[in-house]
Structure 1
Amino acid sequence: MAIEDLMQQRVSRRWVVKAGAAGTLFLLTGCTSAANSGAGTSSGPKKGGTLHMAQVPDIIPSGLFGQNFPNTAVGRLVYNTLTEYDHKTLKPNPSLATSWQLAGDGTSLTLELRKDVKFHSGRPFGPGDVIFSIQNIQDPKRASQLRSTAAVITDASGSGSTVKLRLSHAASNLFDLFEIMFIVDKDTLPDMLSGKNLNGTGPFVWKQWNPGDSVALTKNPSYWKPGRPYLDGVELRIIPQAQSLLSSLQAQQTELALGLAPKDYVGLKNNPAFTTQVADTGDAAYYVGCNVKVPPFDRKEVRQAVAYGVDKERILKEVFSGVGNATSIPWPKSSPAYTDTAATHYSYNPNKAKQILQSAGLTNVQAQLAFNSGSPPLSPMAQIVQFNLQQIGITTQTVSYDAAQFIQKLQAGTLPGLWVNVHGFSQLHPATLIVSAFPFNAAKNASNLNDPVYVDLANQAFRASESSAKAVYQKVTDYLLDQQFVIDSVISPGTFVSVNKFKNFTYNMFDYLDFDEAYLA
């Protein structure tokens, strides 16, 4: 994907798009990413009612700005963003912003906003809300993974329905920020952080959160898209056990399951009672992380030995039932940074892994291996990694953390020597991964890697022009393969399973569910 297509840095361009029955949904999700439209458009009647959905981990309202997977089920239902990507081209389409104009040098941007939008509280939306939302992402207390991108915006002003942004330098991934940044209400931010009330402009109004149990949303009668949403409401149920999640769907107590365990998804693919979908974003990359402050993983040759010692094809087959692909890099095949050669760099080679450890003078290495229990695939993945590492001379003790604990430790850089988890962001502009995602952020990452060379590469990708982008991406990929502080293993897209009567749901490029057009047939 050309940088010019994403950011229009070479030539200022302007898009103008004119913006344009009830039900309630329950959602089931397991903590992988979201998927494509449930079953497409139907000629049947679009019914209302309550849609029931469910997921394994509870939401984390205070982590909504940190782009954490447990919140992908509800974020876009309550809030809107400025723009929304076309999944095939990564060209931004209007949402709360109707048009925009980027200066030729990429250092200023003018946005025109919708004039007919209100928050759920009834207060009109305007330029001040965009400016506040940017400042909120820039605030270190929010722990946003997009803070580095937002920090490029050095000045913002608004008048009427216009927002003008000034940037410290051209940013190749600016619209990644607009894809993910929810427009929030400053007056109710404390209530949002506590989960008491999320006051957005989206299709559904926050009704109640019962921690560990459920979230209830009701239809926004004043939504800015005429006649939408069709659903009267949505209820998200928290079902901590993956098997119970499956049972609830099979009994049709829920209409949509997000992130079922891969084997359960594959088991339902040919069941005529359900519609199965695989996300087209390719964002869910499962990896082994290394804390470079914990010996012996402070030595890159040891991390490389781990990379050779992990049987990625076995993980793909046994944990993900073949849904996805084994890989040595974070980039999905749709990324401009992807190459086949890089993806197969660390093919399974336990003998080579042993030789590396022996050359390093290491025998009987002991380590902790943590995993996020909020994502069903991670426990069996950890078991395979543990077995693989034992075969090359690294004995590990597994440690389980729930989703909230794991994310806190990931953000703080306090995970043990090794861990398994899933990351996103690689489906967006390549710069976003290395300046934003917690596992990769060059400025501060979960592995505690602090390297000026890496920081310089991140800055190059951040500022890359169309002509320089390919060479920069290759240098970034070569660095990641050499350092192996993040050992990517499998990219397995998120999956959706829905009952056939639930139609036309979709998601954005970060897998936040979009029910603007969803209905029960």
Structure 2
Amino acid sequence: MTELYPFTPSGPSRRSTLRAAGGGTLLLGLGLAGCRSAVSEASSEPQGASAAPKRGGVLNIAVNSDFTPALLFSQSGQSLQHRLIYNTLTRYDDRLSPKPELARSWTYAKDGRSITLRLRDDVTFHSGRRFTADDVIFAVKNLQNPVRAAQLRATAATVTGFEKRGDHELVLKLTHPVNNLFDLFEFMIIADSETVEDAVTGKKLIGTGPFRLTKWSPGSGLSLTRNDAYWQAGRPYLDGVELRVIPQADALISSLRSGQSQLSFNVPGKSLGVVKSDPHLTISDYDTGGGAVYLGVNTTVAPLNDRTVRQALAWAVDRDRLLAQTLGGYGLASAAPWPKSSPAFTEAHRTHYSHDPAKARELLKSAGHSKLELPLLHLALPGDTAIAESLQYDLKQVGVHVTLQPTDPATGQKKLISQDMPALWTMGHGFAQVQPSTLAVSAYPFNEAKNTSKYRSAAYTKVVREAWTKPESGTAEANAQHEKISSILLDEAFLIDLVVRGQVQVAADGLHGVTLNKFSYLNLDNAYLV
């Protein structure tokens, strides 16, 4: 099957956007119902474009944690800047249909064992070096390196052969078919092979993207300037981007309201009401399901090695209250990880666990427990602290007393990767918004081979591997595999999903054309300020 696409710059065609002044009831209603997607890359028109895009200006983005170079090739809450500096091979639209980026077109072999990529021949790195097939080969091999801690390493590892057909055509040969290869292509940033070791220490970040790194000030943020040699003619419109670290919620909101910052994705849910009252700010919800709030469980810590105890925790949490009071009403209360856009989503899975403290206490009693004392790790950020406090309250009602353990985001991510978590933790996960098999093959909390909960099951591994190597979602066979994965996740409860949510964007009303890809990489190719 050959898929051939003409290139058009990405830009949203649908957006759930609320003007900050008024609309309070609408805000909560949209959030509880699950907002429509804020991003569709099928259109080339910038969002909110009421006039011709304006060239110039520097966009100031408020972020709540600093760039961590060591995590450059993994997806985390610190991946926002990836698409500003780097490109990817392809990008999904809302329907998980891949569209061209550095790959112009592709041909998938009928047996699913190889794919031929035809690459753009007009692309250069920030250093001036031409982009070729060798850079794709390097990118795949780079993710195969376990040192990079890339979540999609297992998918990258299925590529075991490379056949170059000139500088801009490449055949990737696979050990076996996988249905999430385009997840890899959207996840995998194309970095400069000559400076990659400097990249992972923050000395140089050289890609083919719309902006070049001019300075990284640890603790303060990144300064980027326009790439005048960008392969998209006339893009970007902005002269530069400043990502400024503002960890305190009050200071971040003040920065937005004063106009010192024009964009942020890190306003805590409890603070959205303050933002909503400002007529110069706009709130937008990216309901891609690119993120979810969860309660992690270390299954090697007694009594959490007992599935009954884990299920009790799942019944104890009031997901609707967490969503409404702590997350500002944005998201979808759900016991399963899947957003509504996922082919794996079902209403039965979403509501599998409701808030039932009596049932939670009954299960704990049947397991021989009336009171438990456990630690709960969380990120030391305002929004994450509020989530941890909400969980602490709910669990206390059923006799589970947790001691909060705040930690900085970089340390938290490293603990997640190294499986060094205490009995309980709460963080966010992604990877449920793409091919369903990717979640269980790649995401650290769910990985069938090595997950943070240290949960092991031959049955889980078998189901996940079968789902990964079968045809893409949409077939009866694929749907049956999704059902099996969901059933294991819900029954075993080694990870307890709470709320599925996308990114919540707060922006100045003069900013237009902002999009995110499926992995929440920020795309400012078409962004402009008026």
Q: TM class, shorter-chain normalised?
A: over 0.9
Q: Distance in 2 between matches of 1:263 and 1:395?
A: 24
Once the two structures are TM-superposed, the CA of residue 48 in structure 1 deviates from its matched residue by 0.2
Instruction: Give the TM-score of the pair, scaled to structure 1.
Output: 0.92
Aligned equivalents of 1:418, 1:160: Cα separation in 2: 50
Q: Does 1:212 align with 2:219?
A: yes
Tell whether the 8 Å contact from 1:39 to 1:500 is kept in structure 2 after alignment. no
Conservation of the 8 A alpha-carbon contact between 2:7 and 2:101: no
Q: How far apart are the structure 1 equivalents of 2:271 and 2:361?
A: 35
Post-superposition CA distance 1:51-90 (Å, at most 9, x none): 1111111111210211111122x11000000001112x11
Give the match for residue 129 of structure 1: 135
Counterpart-to-counterpart distance in 2, 1:455 and 1:243: 45
2:270·2:327 contact (CA, 8 Å) conserved in 1? yes
Q: Secondary structure at the match of 1:183?
A: coil
Give the partner amino acid of 2:485.
V
What is residue 494 of structure 2 aligned with on the other side? Answer: 485
Displacement, 1:17?
A: 1.6
SS in structure 2 opposite 1:377?
A: helix
Partner residue, 2:32: none
The one-letter code matched in structure 1 to 2:269 is P
Opposite residue 93 of structure 2, the aligned amino acid is D
1:406 paired residue number: 412
Contact 2:253 2:275 in 1 (8 A): no
Tell me: CA distance 1:188–1:201, structure 2 relative to 1, closer, same or farther (3 Å): same
Residue 197 of structure 1 contacts residue 207 of structure 1 at CA under 8 Å; is this kept in 2? no
Query: What is residue 25 of structure 1 aligned with on the other side?
Result: none
Trace 1:225-240 onto structure 2 (pairs within 5 A).
Answer: 225-240=232-247
Asked if the contact 2:287/2:331 (under 8 Å) is kept, the reply is no
CA distance in 1, matches of 2:179, 2:186: 14
Question: Aligned equivalents of 1:113 and 1:157: distance in 2?
Answer: 14
Deviation by residue 1:383-404 (Cα, 9 ceiling, x = unmatched): 1211221221211111011000
1:241-260 maps to which residues of 2 (within 5 A)? 241-260=248-267
Residue 372 of structure 2 corresponds to: 365
5+ residue gaps, structure 1, are 1-11, 21-33
Which segment is superposed worse, 265-274 or 457-466?
Answer: 265-274
Specify the code of the residue in structure 1 equivalent to 2:355.
Answer: Y
Q: CA separation in 2, counterparts of 1:363 and 1:291?
A: 20
- 2:420 maps to amino acid: T
Q: How far is 1:270 from its partner?
A: 5.5
- 2:456 is matched with 450
Q: Are 2:312 and 2:360, in contact at CA under 8 Å, matched by a contact in 1?
A: yes
Structure 2 stretches lacking a partner, 5+ long? 10-36, 41-45
Measured on the aligned residues, the alpha-carbon RMSD in Å equals 1.5
**TM superposition score normalised by structure 2:** 0.91
> What residue is the counterpart of 1:155 in the other structure?
161
Distance (whole Å) between structure 1 residues aligned to residue 156 and residue 512 of structure 2: 35
Query: SS at 1:225's partner residue?
Result: coil
Residue in 1 aligned with 2:343?
336
Q: CA deviation at 1:463?
A: 1.4
Deviation larger for 298-307 or 378-387: 378-387
Q: Residue 60 of structure 1 contacts residue 71 of structure 1 at CA under 8 Å; is this kept in 2? A: no
The 8 Å contact of residues 373 and 403 in structure 1, kept in 2 or not, is answered as yes
Find the partner of 1:60 among 68, 71, 79: 68
Whole-angstrom CA distance in 1 between matches of 2:278 and 2:414:
39
**Secondary structure of residue in 1 paired with 2:447:** coil
Within a 5 Å distance, the mapping from 1:388-427 to structure 2 comes to 388-427=394-433
State the Cα deviation string for residues 197-247 of structure 1 (Å, max 9, x = none).
100000000111011112100110100001111111101100010111001
> Following the alignment from structure 1 to structure 2, what is the Cα–Cα distance between the partners of residues 389 and 427?
29
Residue 253 of structure 2 aligns with an amino acid whose one-letter code is L
Give CA-to-partner distance per residue, 1:471-491, whole Å, 9 cap, x none: 110011100010001100111
Displacement after TM superposition at 1:45 (Å): 5.0
- After TM superposition, give the deviation of residue 151 of structure 1 in Å: 1.1
Helix, strand or coil at the partner of 2:397: helix
**1:13 maps to amino acid:** T
Paired residues for 1:287-306 under 5 Å: 287-306=294-313
- Indicate conservation of the 8 Å contact 1:61/1:71, yes or no: no
Match of 2:124 in 1: 118
- CA displacement, residues 262-309 of structure 1 (integer Å, 9 cap, x when unaligned): 233344346331222110312211010000111111111110000011
Q: Deviations over 1:34-56 (max 9, x none)?
A: 96498522314513021111111
Moved over 4 A (4+): 34-39
Moved more, 345-354 or 269-278: 269-278
